[in-house]
Amino acid sequence: MAETDKYISKIHPYHRGTWCGFGDVHYRPGGTCGPRRQHSYQLVMLLKGRSRIRWNGAWYPLPERHAILLTPGHEELFEFSRTTKTHHTWINWNAERLPSALIRRVPAVPAAFPLPLSVEAMMEAALRRPAPTPAALDHLGQAILEECLSVLGPATTAQPLPPPLEKALACMEQRAEEALTLTDIARSCGITPPHLVKLFRTHLKTTPMKHLWQLRTARGRDSLLATGLSVSEIAHRCGFQNPFHFSRLIKDRYGKSPRELRKKAWGGTGI
């Protein structure tokens, strides 16, 4: 990817198979990428922060823990959160090598969707060090694309989010650790709570508070793997009133308790 170097805080090695490649990058607040011409099929997965993508002149949102599938032949510009660091991974597939049966299933318009745990796990496997063999990377790349296409379905496409919804997502990102209520979030974007709930259900297929707790849980999981803070301290910093609620949501989403997640990751076996 053609990034602006001054905004990159960390970039990991790029692992390549024979017809697909995997990357991982961290951006400082205010980072951008592009404008550029897309020459391949690309899946961008946003793990932390927020981004939006200008694709053929229209803006498409990419919230935290979501992915978006991009197609070749279009001009793009990525803008990342101005208030927090952004971490994303990506896969490029060579358009000439991608099976035609898969190409026919790719939406013509960018489609953002919640990042499946199965895709996240396969990405972690692809980005491990030492890198998997090219053949293994090719198998992972095809499996990830097939999984994403099954989630998207034949008629799913993304449309730019309404401005009030964009503001609500920004409010959650910036104030996730606070004791936010539905009324607080609705007030931040100038609409009523019922209207906000309707916007979330229509455009993101979830509710505002469920999205907020998923955001807090994902950030808590990142802190578990990246720091030595106690479970109680992480829960507090991520906006949970008690560690029991945090532990329950972690186990519901990742299938393991916070301590089990950390032990397995720090033991070098992955998640």
Do 196 and 262 reside in the same domain of the chain? yes
Q: Token pair for residue 142? A: 């095809």
Do 16 and 123 reside in the same domain of the chain? yes
DSSP string, 21-82: EEEEEEE-TT-EEEEEE--SEEEEEEEES-EEEEETTEEEEE-TTEEEEE-SS-EEEEEE-S
Q: What pLDDT tens digit does each residue of the chain (271 aa) get? A: 444 455 555 556 678 888 888 989 888 888 888 888 888 899 999 998 889 998 877 888 898 889 999 988 888 999 998 888 899 999 998 877 777 677 778 887 787 888 888 998 999 899 988 888 888 998 999 899 999 988 887 644 445 678 899 899 889 888 888 999 999 999 999 999 999 999 998 887 789 999 899 889 888 887 887 788 899 999 999 999 999 999 999 988 888 899 988 887 776 544 3
Instruction: Judge whether 127 and 24 are in contact, CB under 8 Å.
Output: yes
Residue 117 falls within a domain, yes or no? yes
Instruction: For residues 175 and 169, give the distance between their C-alpha atoms in angstroms, rounded to a whole number.
Output: 10
- Confidence (pLDDT) at 129: 83
Residue 56: how many CB atoms within 10 A of its CB?
Answer: 11
- Confidence (pLDDT) at 156: 44
Residue 72 falls within a domain, yes or no? yes
Residue 271 falls within a domain, yes or no? no
Mutual angle of helices 117-126 and 134-152, in 10-degree steps: 160
Largest CA distance in the chain: 53
pTM, rounded to two decimals: 0.61
Pairing of strands 20-27, 15-16: antiparallel
CATH for 124: 2.60.120.280
Q: Measured between alpha carbons, how far is residue 119 from residues 146, 176, 183, 194, 265 in Å?
A: 10, 25, 34, 33, 17
CATH for 253: 1.10.10.60
What residue type is assigned to position 56 of the chain?
Answer: N
Do 144 and 191 reside in the same domain of the chain? no
Rounded to the nearest angstrom, the gap between the alpha carbon of residue 134 and the centroid of all alpha carbons in its chain is: 25
Nearest to 65 by CA among 216, 271, 200, 250: 216
User: Which domain-ending residue is among 124, 152, 180?
Assistant: 152
Per DSSP, the three-state class of 187 is helix
Domain that holds residue 255: 163-266
Instruction: For residues 131 and 162, give the distance between their C-alpha atoms in angstroms, rounded to a whole number.
Output: 41
Do 179 and 51 reside in the same domain of the chain? no
